Copies of this chain bind each other. A is one copy, B any other.
């Protein structure tokens, strides 16, 4: 493999085939992918989840992960948030001419590792190379298909007054990790992205309760955006308590210094669950057993008042509206 990716690697010709077979299929191969037909073919039955995301994160390598790990975890999580068991992923690269082949190899290695942990297979793909200056290094799209178990019915529209709201851990770590890496800020205690596949956690939650109403991973726009989406989709009000929201001390300090609100910072390995009040403690206990849920907490509840609005009781006892963000906090966070 040459040192740099050339336009020819995207031509569909000999070098394309070499790149695909030597670099991609050799690391990610499985009987479905190896056929190299125009589409992957497999058998599935029942209710399916289908999702897509393009990843444009900058920088592409960051503490706690890289664009490859992010592309697998992000799409796995979007599937898991419907209660689905993620099964098959597609993988599409847009590469800028001149990108280092060794960096591509590292990223393919991360994809393999994340896919193995999440127990998903990469079954179909595409590689495009664009001329220098027409893209910034590397963009990845992953789409995914999963199977939804019988009896599971999870949607952002299912929150009901009385339900409890659980967050699976500290909020804002991914956003701060990316920002500090991009801007060359060295925190006293370095913060890693929380980038992780949450499908195992979701299946453990579903095993202890059938009363999980909404699930979402608070990525772009953070916890505040996810809660607002639930409030709008469900036509319900949401109240949270500032003192219960888990935030890493260094993240909090960095946010204060930089003028960010941690409620709006992106996460890539957290989920927000809206669950029946009776099952909330049981589900919380189960989440805390999982390696990605040790800091989980109940942070509030769904209420009948002020539908479509999210309100936070502050540490001082006052109330503050937590609105959808209007402006751009951090571009290219995912």
By the criterion of a CB under 8 Å from any partner CB, how many residues of chain A are at the interface? 84
**Chain B residues, CB < 8 A from A160:** none
**Chain B residues, CB < 8 A from A327:** 8, 11, 13
CA distance A124 to B52 in the complex (A): 7
**Chain B residues, CB < 8 A from A183:** none
A156 at the interface (CB under 8 A from B): yes
In chain B, what residue has the closest Cβ to A220?
B12
CA distance A81 to B11 in the complex (A): 20
A66 at the interface (CB under 8 A from B): no
Query: Are A92 and B220 within 8 A (Cβ)?
Result: no
Query: Are A41 and B48 within 8 A (Cβ)?
Result: yes
Interface residues of A, dominant DSSP: mixed
Contact with B along A23-45 (1 / 0, CB 8 A): 00000000000011111111111
CA distance A219 to B126 in the complex (A): 13
Query: Are A54 and B136 within 8 A (Cβ)?
Result: no
Are A328 and B11 CB-contacts (below 8 A) given A35-B157, A94-B139? yes
CA distance A326 to B229 in the complex (A): 50
Residue in B43, B126, B216, B324 whose beta carbon sits within 8 Å of that of A38 in the complex: B216
**Chain B residues, CB < 8 A from A156:** 35-37
CA distance A277 to B31 in the complex (A): 30
Query: Are A12 and B225 within 8 A (Cβ)?
Result: yes
Query: Are B90 and A52 within 8 A (Cβ)?
Result: yes
Most-contacted residue by chain B among A36, A79, A216 (CB, 10 A): A36
**Chain B residues, CB < 8 A from A331:** 7, 10-11, 129-131
Given contacts A13-B325, A135-B139, 12 further A-B contacts (CB under 8 A): A7-B328, A13-B327, A14-B325, A36-B229, A39-B51, A39-B79, A39-B144, A41-B47, A44-B44, A51-B90, A52-B124, A52-B143
Show 15 A/B contacts (Cβ-Cβ < 8 Å), sorted by A.
A8-B328, A12-B220, A12-B221, A13-B221, A15-B326, A38-B217, A50-B88, A50-B90, A52-B90, A52-B125, A54-B92, A56-B128, A139-B139, A141-B143, A143-B143
